[in-house]
Structure 1
Amino acid sequence: MTQNPFLQLAAPLRQQTADLLRAAIVAMEFKPGERLIETRLCERFDVSRTVVREVLRQLEAEGIVEMIPRRGPRVAILTEKDIRDLYELRGVLEGLIGQLFAIRASAAQCAEVIGLTEQIGSSLEHLPVSERTQLKDRYYHVLLAGADNEAVERALRAIHSRTELLRAYTLNLPGRALRSIEEIKVISEAAAVRRDPVAARAACEKHVQAAYEAAKDGFHVLNQIGGD
């Protein structure tokens, strides 16, 4: 059966546009609460209104965009309770990921985690935020692959999407990068070196708790500078 070439092109274009808009929101080019005008997005990304609407629906499903009745889409504003709920769930899921990695990961995956940990330790504090998040995302990608649980991975990716803006802010807090490096070293030691599932779970949960404490500060700052 011959595939429709338009469908082959449309999905990548939609995903590329979604990635660009998501990155712009994380970079604070669109602030929390700011309205997202379809015509302006069409001009900015050089895509049709249909593509923009599909992208907005995708980002709404991720929790990054919210639809306001009679006003249209805007960048989502997380409440203090949202932050608490998300990080509580993230702690449980990342703890499980660490535990499963220690049990299931291959020797090659363990070696990759150890190598990425060394790379993070030597460079994370000096990198711009965009490169820091990319490096940590690579680290998480290997942990998720080693844990080998697609249901947990999907749930965790959804949470990371909603907290992406806070992650970018918290990595810039004084001393947070260094503390994050030490926390990652503890996770890697437990999960990839000693293969201790109990210690790996505890280390992941402690890392998320520290991230939550930083995120609470980020919440107040980001919503103060948000627009409407």
Structure 2
Amino acid sequence: MLKVERPKTLKESALESLRDAITNNVLTPGTRLVERTLCETMGVSRTVVRECIRHLESERLVVGIPNSGFVVASLSDEEVKEIYEIRTLLECSAVAACCEKANSDVVQTLYTLQHQIADALEKDDIKTGLSVTTEFYELIFKTADRHVSWDLVDQLNSRISRLRGLTLRTSGRKKVGPKDLYDIVKAIEEKNANKAKEICARHLKEAYEVATLLFQSQLQDQAG
């Protein structure tokens, strides 16, 4: 039987909206989250807003400041570096293992997802691009039987999406990123684990370099 999708609750919709505003850089680091303003903007109660903020605090997207309420969290250079180091270790291992286990159906699905990512970014639809990118990597990890690794990545996904959202706003990454994903899928199809790992590592190294520059520029703008 086909799975029946459950309608989203008001809280789930509000949480998704607020999370998207942060990961898409609409709410920038340091922005104060004023409950009344959020209630009016999203058309929900203060109870819902507070629940959303608490949830985002658990995802490390917002942080509480004593006597000042909650603000959008900043990411330090060290945190950005560590996130990309963790991604490199886990993703390179996953794509290599996926080369051994992926069948033709998985490969075709990966090509389809890669095409959807490229199409979304070409249309400046960052939200869809981020969502489908998560699906893309989830399929790779689960095909590779890297379920524990995916759990770890999943815990970081809000912060990963935030970094992706920032880098994908540059015209270069909108083109290079999807091309790298295509090359990874091609290596998986060819069952060339070394090539897949090499492309994955280069992709993440270049993304890290862009993210570092953008975050430093963002922090300088705020300080100025």
1:176 Cα deviation from its structure 2 partner: 2.2
Distance in 2 (alpha carbons) for counterparts of 1:40 and 1:154: 34
* Kept in 2: contact 1:104–1:146 (CA 8 A): yes
One of 137, 145, 153 as aligned partner of 1:156: 153
CA change 1:176–1:29 in 2 (3 A) is: closer
* SS class of match (1:163): helix
Equivalent AA in structure 1 for residue 195 of structure 2: A
Q: Which moved more, 1:137-146 or 1:29-38?
A: 137-146
Picking from 24, 29, 43, the partner of 1:46 is: 43
Q: Of residues 203, 207, 210 in structure 2, which corresponds to 1:207?
A: 203
Alignment correspondent of 1:4: none
Mapping 1:75-86, distance limit 5 Å: 75-86=72-83
Q: Which deviates the most, 37-46 or 133-142? A: 133-142
Q: Residues 85-164 of structure 1 correspond to what in structure 2 (within 5 A)?
A: 85-120=82-117, 123=119, 126-128=122-124, 129-164=126-161
Distance 2:30 2:64 in 1: 11
Separation (CA, whole Å) in 1 of partners of 2:151 and 2:72? 22
SS at match of 1:175: helix
Structure 1 residue ranges (4+ consecutive) displaced by more than 6 angstroms after TM superposition: none
Matched, 1:63 2:60: yes
1:213, 1:81 → 2: CA distance?
13
Partner of 1:186: 183
Quick check: 1:190–1:199 contact (8 Å CA) kept in 2? yes
Query: Is residue 66–residue 73 contact of structure 1 (8 Å, CA) maintained in 2?
Result: yes
Q: Is the 8 A contact 1:34 1:226 kept in 2?
A: no
Q: How many correspondences in the alignment?
A: 217
The CA deviation string for residues 55-94 of structure 1, in whole angstroms up to 9 with x for no partner, is: 1121111111111122221100111111111111111111
Q: Secondary structure at the match of 1:169?
A: helix
Identical positions, percent? 29
Distance apart, 1:216 and its partner CA: 0.8
> What are structure 2's unaligned runs of at least 5 residues?
1-5
**Which residue number corresponds to residue 18 of structure 1?**
15
Structure 1 stretches of 5 or more lacking a match?
1-7
TM-score w.r.t. structure 1 length?
Answer: 0.82
Separation in structure 2 between the aligned mates of residue 210 and residue 159 of structure 1, nearest angstrom: 19
* TM-score with structure 2 setting the length: 0.84
Give yes or no for contact 1:124–1:177 (8 Å, CA) kept in 2: no
Higher RCO, Cα 8 Å, sep 6+: 1
Q: 1:225 deviation in Å? A: 4.0
Q: Deviations over 1:169-221 (max 9, x none)?
A: 21222422222233212211112x11233332332222111110111111112
* Residue aligning to 2:169: 172
Cα distance in 1, alignment partners of residues 185 and 198 from structure 2: 12
Report the Cα distance in structure 1 between the residues aligned to 2:37 and 2:209, rounded to whole angstroms: 36
How far apart in 2 are the matches of 1:117 and 1:50?
A: 39
